[in-house]
Structure 1
Amino acid sequence: MTDAVMELRDLRLSLTGNAGPVEILHGIDLTVTRGETLGLVGPSGSGKSSLLMLMGGLERATGGRIRALDQDLTDLSEDALARFRRDHMGVVFQSFHLIPTMTALENVATPLELAGTRDAFGRAAEALEQVGLAHRGGHYPSQLSGGEQQRVALARAFAPRPAILLADEPTGNLDEANGAAIMELLFGLRDRHGATLIMVTHAPELAARCDRRIRLRDGRIESPAA
């Protein structure tokens, strides 16, 4: 089996606006290896988050191919992509995306239940304990601080023990202290579970922790490694 977890070949994305098509990504070629931590960096509007969304099958490419874990994702249906994410990927967003009517424990347990995991709530409780929130499992998102909500989001992403973790500005909505705590948790969980981590970040200290950094500018890879 190849060491490549994800391969992007001539990946392109264009969106149609009022003034016509807008080119977002221009022929991205990239290989991510098993167990690697890859930082996607660059100025705002360079295409980092769009690239991450394509990697997760959350956005459709308009050209090129994406392979992940030896599976070609390019032509999969929406349902097949959702199953692939459920079984193999965890995603952490800047804005948490917790379900407001569910407790922290239920937020973490829900994707496990959807995947048919035995003892989903037991696994969810273990994941909350790993992020220091065992005592907050019965609280709703509105009762949690921003830092606590991001911890719940991390627990939810890692609980299924995914092979690939995608993180889009995971510390972007947090103050410096909470951001530093989330950074330590993110890398600690990655080390514990052995996931390949692909992360968009503007934070230099977070990017510096990555094994490799890819810099984008105007939808192109400006610097393949740093």
Structure 2
Amino acid sequence: MPHPPLSLSGAALSLRSNAGLVEILHGITLEVQSGETLGLVGPSGSGKSSLLMLMGGLERATSGTVTALGHDLSVMSEDALARLRRDHFGVIFQSFHLIPTMTALENVATPLELAGRADAFERARAELAAVGLAGRADHYPSQLSGGEQQRVALARAAAPQPDIVLADEPTGNLDGSTGATIIDLLFDLRDRHGTTLVLVTHDADLAARCDRVISLRDGRIDNTANAA
């Protein structure tokens, strides 16, 4: 039986601050199945974004294990983690994280070029067209609206056809109508590429469309909320 794309067992995360050691996540155990859309919800400061970072190897678990696509992330070097993300993950941030000196097309093509894809710009144009931005390919981020920038970020994440997409509040900086468009595009990405989606969100409409929703509170899975 194939392994799930994401699996965490007793995963904990502590970070040092000026005030000492801060415990952020406590004993997180969960599996995300292939093609599943998992929503992570909970109040601000509950550990949602930190959990997303653990899943992508952007933070290392202090204890426990995090396995992605059969790889134990805790024993991988930073270079190996970067290659795993490049080849198998797409990451979408609330604040877009576009490169301001690059056009929309160049932003989307960048991860493909880094992966050595000969068809990087062809693929990038196709993904921009898929999110309705074929006519904005030569525009810079400063020339795009917030919704357009988020669509570029989504196209960039989708272009390598990743196995897993991690999205941190993908509709958080957008108005309701634009956010609804982004939600539709996220699920279109899943349907086109069979992608496993993990979404951190406060958006009730987005959470309602997920296959499963996990609520976090104080760095723990809130089983009371899940049971309800």
- Sort the TM-score into its range (normalised by shorter chain): over 0.9
- 1:6-85 map, 5 Å: 6-85=6-85
In 2, the alpha carbon distance for the partners of 1:53 and 1:70 equals: 17
In 1, the alpha carbon distance for the partners of 2:44 and 2:55 equals: 19
Structure 1: runs of 5+ lacking an equivalent:
none
In 2, the alpha carbon distance for the partners of 1:165 and 1:140 equals: 24
Instruction: Letter of the 1:44 partner, please give it.
Output: S
Instruction: Letter of the 1:42 partner, please give it.
Output: G
Determine if contact 2:3/2:69 at 8 Å carries over to the other structure. no
In 2, the alpha carbon distance for the partners of 1:36 and 1:148 equals: 26
In 2, the alpha carbon distance for the partners of 1:105 and 1:202 equals: 30
Determine if contact 1:12/1:61 at 8 Å carries over to the other structure. yes
In 2, the alpha carbon distance for the partners of 1:147 and 1:43 equals: 24
Determine if contact 2:60/2:73 at 8 Å carries over to the other structure. no
In 2, the alpha carbon distance for the partners of 1:195 and 1:211 equals: 13
In 1, the alpha carbon distance for the partners of 2:170 and 2:191 equals: 17
In 2, the alpha carbon distance for the partners of 1:129 and 1:202 equals: 28
1:155 to 2:180 alignment: no
In 1, the alpha carbon distance for the partners of 2:70 and 2:80 equals: 15
Provide the TM-score with structure 2 as the length reference. Answer: 0.97
Instruction: Letter of the 2:141 partner, please give it.
Output: P
Task: Please identify, of 68-77 and 202-211, the stretch whose mean Cα deviation from structure 2 is larger.
Answer: 68-77
- 1:1-226 map, 5 Å: 1-223=1-223, 224=226
**Post-superposition offset of 1:176:** 0.9
Determine if contact 1:213/1:225 at 8 Å carries over to the other structure. no
Instruction: Letter of the 2:201 partner, please give it.
Output: T
Instruction: Letter of the 2:131 partner, please give it.
Output: V
CA-atom RMSD, angstroms?
A: 1.0
In 2, the alpha carbon distance for the partners of 1:68 and 1:48 equals: 18
In 2, the alpha carbon distance for the partners of 1:21 and 1:113 equals: 40
Any idea what the Cα deviations from partners look like across 1:173-219, whole Å, max 9, x if unmatched? 01111111111111111111110000000011100000000000000
Structure 1: 4+ residue segments shifted above 4 A: none
In 2, the alpha carbon distance for the partners of 1:99 and 1:185 equals: 22
Aligned length: 226
Any idea what the Cα deviations from partners look like across 1:55-107, whole Å, max 9, x if unmatched? 01111211111111111111111111000000100000000000000000000
Task: Please identify, of 54-63 and 158-167, the stretch whose mean Cα deviation from structure 2 is larger.
Answer: 54-63
Instruction: Letter of the 2:97 partner, please give it.
Output: H
Any idea what the Cα deviations from partners look like across 1:102-140, whole Å, max 9, x if unmatched? 000000001000001121000000000000000000000
Structure 2: runs of 5+ lacking an equivalent:
none
**Post-superposition offset of 1:3:** 4.7
In structure 2, the residue corresponding to 1:74 is in which secondary structure? helix
Task: Please identify, of 211-220 and 16-25, the stretch whose mean Cα deviation from structure 2 is larger.
Answer: 16-25
Provide the TM-score with structure 1 as the length reference. Answer: 0.98
In structure 2, the residue corresponding to 1:28 is in which secondary structure? strand
